[in-house]
Structure 1
Amino acid sequence: MSIRAYVLLRVEAGKLNSVISAVSQLPEVKEAYPITGDYDAIVSIEVENVADIREAVATKIHKIDGVKETSTHIAFK
């Protein structure tokens, strides 16, 4: 059984397109879109366990140039 999580991103000005492009290349990422509101983008990830969420966000998404902040939300099916 996989776990779906949604990661909201705050992105540096002028880097939204490159961040969306980079995050979309990660194998865990199913969808990534720019959004309106307090955050700049939303990313849907699907992984096997909670530790994999931490791995994807902390060691992959946070290392993408332009990502300033994230907020992660696990979805219940």
Structure 2
Amino acid sequence: MVTAFVFIQARKDLIPSTGEALAEMEGVAEVYSVTGPWDLIAVLRLKDLEALDEVVTQGIHALPGVERTETHLAFRTYPRRLLDQGFGLGTSP
């Protein structure tokens, strides 16, 4: 399995509709609206690199409003308890 994070710059007036369209795409597990130089981050979970290529180049890039992307691949997943300590709200170790 391949996990990738796709950082997306979108036309400002199309951010909501672009986010909704991303969320409906096969292979897209989550979509976040974020601060900073990127507008959206899509978390992709796919079977292989060929599927990643198809989703990014033929799917995401084809969406109206998408101006630029940057894709990052995940190497390793850490135990949930460690993630909860770093990102959990109101949770204790």
Q: Normalising by structure 2, what TM-score?
A: 0.79
1:75 and 2:56 correspond: no
- For structure 2, the residue ranges without an aligned partner over 5 or more in a row are 77-93
- For structure 1, the residue ranges without an aligned partner over 5 or more in a row are none
Q: Which runs of 4+ in 1 moved over 2 A?
A: none
Alignment deviations for residues 15-73 of structure 1 (CA, whole Å, 9 cap, x no partner)? 10000000100110000011011110100001111111111000000111100010000
Question: 1:1-77 alignment to 2 at 5 Å?
Answer: 2-77=1-76
Greater fraction strand:
1
Q: Which amino acid aligns with 1:37?
A: G
Q: Which amino acid aligns with 2:48?
A: N
Identity %: 29
Task: Identify which of structures 1 and 2 has the higher relative contact order when contacts are C-alpha pairs closer than 8 Å and 6+ apart.
Answer: 1
Greater fraction helix:
2
Q: State which structure, 1 or 2, has the greater radius of gyration over its C-alpha atoms.
A: 2
Query: How many correspondences in the alignment?
Result: 76
